[in-house]
Structure formats: C-alpha cells, structure tokens
Amino acid sequence: MSFGDLLQVLAGVGVLLYGIIIMGDSLQIIAGDRLRKLIGSLTATPIKGLLVGTAVTSILQSSSATTIMVVSFVDVGFMTLTQAIGVILGANIGTTVTGQLIAFDITNVAYICVLVGAAICIIAHKKRVKHIGVGIVGFGLLFIGMEMMQGPLSFLKERPEVTAAFSSHPAVAFLAGLILTLIVQSSSATVGLTMAIAVQGVIPLQTAIVIILGDNIGTTITAVLASLSANRAAKQAAAAHVMIKILGTLVILLVLPFYTSLIEMTANTISRQVANAHTIFNIIIALLFLPFVSQYANFIRKLIPDDESVQATSPIYLNRALLTVSSAAAIDAVRKEMIRLSRTARQMIEDCRKLIVEGDEKLVEEVERSESNVNEMTRDIVQYASEVGQGRLSTDMSTLLNLSTNAVSDAERIGDHATNLVEMYQYLQDHHLTLSPKALEEGNEMFALVLTALDKSIQALDEENPDLAAEAIKLEQRIDDMEKALRAQHIERLNRGLCKPGAGVVFIDILSNLERVGDHATNLADMVIEVSKLHKNKKLKTENAPKGKEAAK
C-alpha cells in the first residue's frame, strides 16, 4: 500500500466522519431546541425513553451526542438513571441508521446531493435553508467517503496474511474496532471502514462482526469523558452505557457462529450484512435490557452508590396529579418550587462573591451549571403554573398563583445577574486586570448587604412572615445608597489614578448588578406583603359577613 493510498483511506474516513457531523449538526439546528426538550420530557417510562432515544439519535446521526445530553441531564437532576437507561438503549439503535444509509450503493446520487446542497448554501439567504443545504452535502459525503476508502483498500486482496491475522485471531479484530472507535469517537465511521474492507473480500462476515462489537464498546468513551467532571449520578449513567455494551457483546460472542448465520440470512451483500449486524446487535441489547431497566439501574447504583449530599435540581413539588385533585395544593406546589428556585439563585450570588472577592475560580463552572438549572426550573414552574391557571380558580387563588409566578421571574433574573457577575470576573482574567484591595473590600460589603436582603426575603416567603418581609424591603434604600456611595468613591479613585480604568468600569458594573439583585429581593418580599393583605381582606370579609337570622333576611 503506497503512502498516497494510505492518505486516501484516511481522507475517506475523514470525509465520512465530516459528513456524519455536518449532517447531524444541520438537522439539530433545523429541529432547534425541540430535540433536547424531547429527551428531557418524554422519558417517563423505559419504552418511551427507548423510542425518544432512537428518534433523536436517528436525526442527530450520533449516539455520542445523545448520550452526552443524557449524561448532562442526569448530572443536573433533570433525568433519573432509569429514564437515562431507556434513552441510551434507544440511542444505540438510532446510531445504526447511518450504517444502514452508507450500505446503499448510490455514489452517483451522492455527487448530485453534494452539488445540490452546495448550490442551496450559496444561493439561499435564510439560515434555515442554508442548513438544509449543509445537511444534503453531509448526506452526499457519507457515500463519497466510502468510495474514497474502497479503492485503496483493494490491495488487501493480495495480502492473505492480513486476512489470516484477523480471521485466526478474533481478539485482534475486536481490539482494532475498539481502538479505532476510541480514537475517532464515532462507531458509524468505523462501521463504514469495516464495510469498505469487507467489500474487498479481505475479511469474512464473522470477523467483521467481531470488529463491530469492538466498535460498539469503543463508542462509549464519549459518555465516559462527559461524566468525568460531573457528579456521581452522571457517572452512573455513563457506567450503565458501558456495561450495556460489554454485557451485550459477551452475549453475542457466546453465540457468535449462530449470530453470524442469522446475519447472513438478512441480506445478499456483505456491506448490508455488516450494517445489519450493527443494527440487530443493538436491537437485541434493547430487548434484553428493557424488561429489567429498574433492576439494572439498582445494580448500577450498587456499583456506584448515590451521592446523598447531592440535592435534586429538578422540580420536586410539581405533582401533575394535583392539577385535577386540588388547585389550592397545586398553587402551593408552585410557591414551594419558587422558594427552592430563589434559594438556588441566592446561592449563585454567594458563589459570585467567593469568586470575585476571594478568587475561587472553580465556582465559575458551578454558577454556569446553576444558571442552567434555574432556567430549566423556571420553564417547568411557569408551564405548570399556566396549566393550573387554566382550571377553575377563585379570584384569590388566581392572585396567589400570579404572585408566585411573578416571583419565579424575579428569582430567574437574580440568576441572570449572577451570570453577568461571572462574565465580569472572566473579563478581568482575560484582560489581566485586578481590582484594588479597597474595591474588593467595598464589593464584599455590597455583596453582604444584598445577601442579607435575599436571606430575609426568602425566609419571609417560606414562613409567610410580613414583618420579616418589611425588614427586607427597608434594606432596599440602604442598598441603593451604598451603590451610589461606592460608585462615587470608586470614580474618585479612578481620577486619582489608584485603579486601572478597565478594572474600574468592571467594578461599577458589579455594583450595578448587585443593586438590581437588591431590587429583585425587594420584589420577593413584596409578594409576602401582598399575600398578607390578601389574607387580611379575606378574614375581614368573613368577619363582616352576616350571620344567623341576619344572613337569612
């Protein structure tokens, strides 16, 4: 094999892999956020999870993308391990669609696809149409990459020792598939390469199947890598993915001759047989695990015990049964989730204080993760509240619901300001700027006052304590006065050359964001006052209502 032929094979793998990537990316962009929501919301049972995982991965053209999303969902508490396993089983099936596509011999059509797709990209003005063109180009590149590999690999026909090495030593074939997939992180690409080799008659079907088994274990590396910096629940999901592939591989290896005979009956061409081996393997895995998903999840938890210190980040009070059973209880569920959300937002501000004042850089990732949690929880709470509001509510209940929903918005905005504060810290780091010791001291004072206001407001919400809420409201003026005073003092330092202008602007922005957080803390306290007034008016109406004979007149 000449150096030029080797380059052509590697280029063919690259073109195939690039085709998979751009086709999946374009389809994901066209679908928008619906795919992620689909994964996160329609996984109540393992069967639903299986169907969702299959559908989403068929569109994304990558089980790695799906499993990474699943691991991240488990990491932040939006998905349980049992739900994750169902989606992973579906993702394993969905990823085999690419292999089925490239088993077709439609190279001429592929060139037309690339031509048409490129023309759409050049001519179209709308981004959505351009992405459609990119997807068509990606589809064509799948087959062009296959054709690029097949020509140079024909030399293997004249090298019987290669055939003998793979056929006589199945472990070599297995490791070849495993290692190659670990490198390219795409089982679809390595399945395509296996097809290209098998078409030349270099390896028999059984050897190709062994390579495919190695591919399937190798593709789990992406989920493992995604879980390394995540919590223990995410590591459980990644471990479940790896164990599914390993156990499934062991089952097939035990009946390999029978499995090979089965695959031979499914198609007449070796390329289609290889694709079918990949698909049927993952279908068998799904059928084996699906009835025992709960038991399997418990087994994984024994291998990797739960971290009891991790708190749930998804809603825990929004029981959908309450929507039809009790509107009052459903409204109270919204209130409780709103308080949980407010506490999360408050912790984000505390983390920002440690980040900016104390320089604890590891909190950047924590705040960003919390922001994602807050946004997801906000959507869930608002959606639930809107469904509660569609029911028959009294005027008072409707008011309570609206107040809680408005408070959710305030808590979410506090999280946004925390994100702004992180961005300001990162700006300082990127531009090698530092705040003066005096600015850090004053910033810490501002943080402390704002956090005190948040603590009083959240406690008042939790206890429905109007007196505590009033204390929180009184702090608003102090926060405003402090922001103005510190701003003036800092401008004076800038004028005296004691602070760098770049850092000075950032410090003023920090003060401004903290002042806005104080406003939202006041809004939370205002809710308690409004609810208190509502209860008082209701009590007065009850006390002034006619009684006995007077009521009968």
pLDDT single digits (tens) 243-297: 999 999 999 999 999 999 999 999 888 889 988 999 999 999 999 998 888 899 8
Question: Considering Cα of 140, then 210, then 91, then 284, what sign does the dihedral take?
Answer: positive
Count H helices, E strands: the chain?
25, 0
Question: Considering Cα of 446, then 451, then 454, then 460, what sign does the dihedral take?
Answer: negative
How far apart, in whole angstroms, are the C-alpha atoms of residue 367 and residue 351? 7
> Residue 119: its pLDDT value, please?
92
**Please, what is the end-to-end C-alpha distance for the chain in angstroms?**
107
pLDDT in tens, 424-433: 888 888 888 8
> Residue 227 pLDDT > 70, yes or no?
yes
Confidence band of 519 (pLDDT split at 50, 70, 90):
very high
Confidence band of 475 (pLDDT split at 50, 70, 90):
very high
Percent of the chain's residues with pLDDT above 70: 80
pLDDT in tens, 303-329: 888 765 545 556 777 767 667 656 776
Count of CB atoms situated within 10 Å of the CB of 428: 18
Count of CB atoms situated within 10 Å of the CB of 370: 21
Six token digits for residue 262:
């089965």
CB within 8 Å of 425: residues ≥ 6 apart:
352, 355, 356, 364
For the chain, give the mean pLDDT.
80
